[in-house]
A and B are shown apart, each in its own frame.
Chain A
C-alpha cells in the first residue's frame, strides 16, 4: 500500500516514519503540508515533532494547513490515518479524535522505553497485534497528557476505543493511563509513543513498534 507521511515545518520524525513504512512492507510517499494533494495514497501518517514550533498550542496551526483539509476529508471517508505524538495532537486539534494533549503533569520532557498494552487490535494500524499484547515502544514528549471530560473518557472505554494504555506507571499524567485512542469508525488512530523508533534491532528498545506499519499490509492481503 502507498502510505503518505506528511512533513510540516518543524516535523522531526517524518523520515523515520517513512523508513518504518518501508520496513513494514509498504511504499512511503512524502507529502508536504502546503499541498492540497494526497498523491493517491491509501493511508496517511502524521509524524512526530514540533510542527509550526508548537506555537499557540501543539498542532493548532498545523490543523489549518492545506494538506490537513485533504487529510480531514479523506479520514471522514474512512482512509486510515495514524498520528504519532505531534500527529496525535494535530488529530485532536482537527477534531478527528476527541480530547486534547496538555503539558506533562510533572512538567519535564519524558524520553524512555515505555511498556504499553495494545487494547484494541481492530484498527487498520493495530491488527497485527494480539489483543492485550504488552509491548515496549519509545515515548518522548513534553505535552503528552491526554485529557477529556469524564463522559468522553467513559465513551472511549465503553466502546473499546482506547488503543493503547501505559503500563508500569503513568509517564505524563494522561487520564486513565491512555496512550492512544481511535475514532468510532476505527480508521483514525492517535498514539503518543513512537512506534517508528521501534522497528529495528540496531537502534532503540526493539522492534515492538513494527506492528503499526505491518498491519496495513496484512489487512490489504487478508
Chain B
C-alpha cells in the first residue's frame, strides 16, 4: 500500500474568495501577521500494489481530468512516505 497525495490550489491569478474569508476572520480571532491566505484541496489516494511510474502517470491523469480543473487550478503530485507509527498500525502492532 502506498499513499499518493494530490494538492490542488487555485491558480495565483484566480480570485480565491474562500481564502479571503479566512484571511478576514484571522484578525478577528486575534491572529495577526498573516498577509494572505489561499485555500486549496488535498486528496490522499491509497494505491493498491506497487507504486510504479505508470501508476504515478495515471494519478497525474486523474489529477488533470477530475481532481483539478486546469482552467482555474494547479496541482502537485507527491508520494507520502508512511511513518513508522502508521506502518506499525497497519501490521497490527501497538
Contact = CB atoms under 8 A, between A and B. Distances in A.
Interface stretch (A92-100, A180-188, A190-198, A206-214): A92-100
Given A57-B69, A93-B69, A147 B20 contact: no
A102 B15 contact: yes
B17 A60 contact: no
A98 B72 CA distance: 11
Interface residues of A, number: 20
A20 B11 CA distance: 38
Nearest to B67: A56
A147 B72 contact: yes
A102 B10 CA distance: 10
B21 interface: yes
B18 interface: yes
Interface stretch (A8-16, A28-36, A103-111, A155-163): A103-111
Nearest to A59: B69
B17 A107 contact: yes
A87 interface: no
Interface in A66-102: 92-93, 98-100, 102
Given A99-B71, A102-B15, A173-B15, A107 B20 contact: yes
Given A100-B71, A100-B72, A107-B20, A147 B14 contact: yes
24 contacts: A56-B66, A56-B67, A57-B69, A60-B66, A64-B66, A92-B71, A93-B69, A98-B71, A99-B71, A100-B71, A102-B10, A102-B17, A102-B72, A103-B18, A106-B17, A107-B17, A107-B20, A145-B15, A147-B14, A147-B15, A147-B72, A148-B71, A149-B13, A173-B15
Interface of B: 10, 13-15, 17-18, 20-21, 66-67, 69, 71-72
Given A105-B15, A107-B18, 4 more contacts: A60-B69, A102-B72, A103-B18, A173-B15
Interface of A: 56-57, 60, 64, 92-93, 98-100, 102-107, 145, 147-149, 173
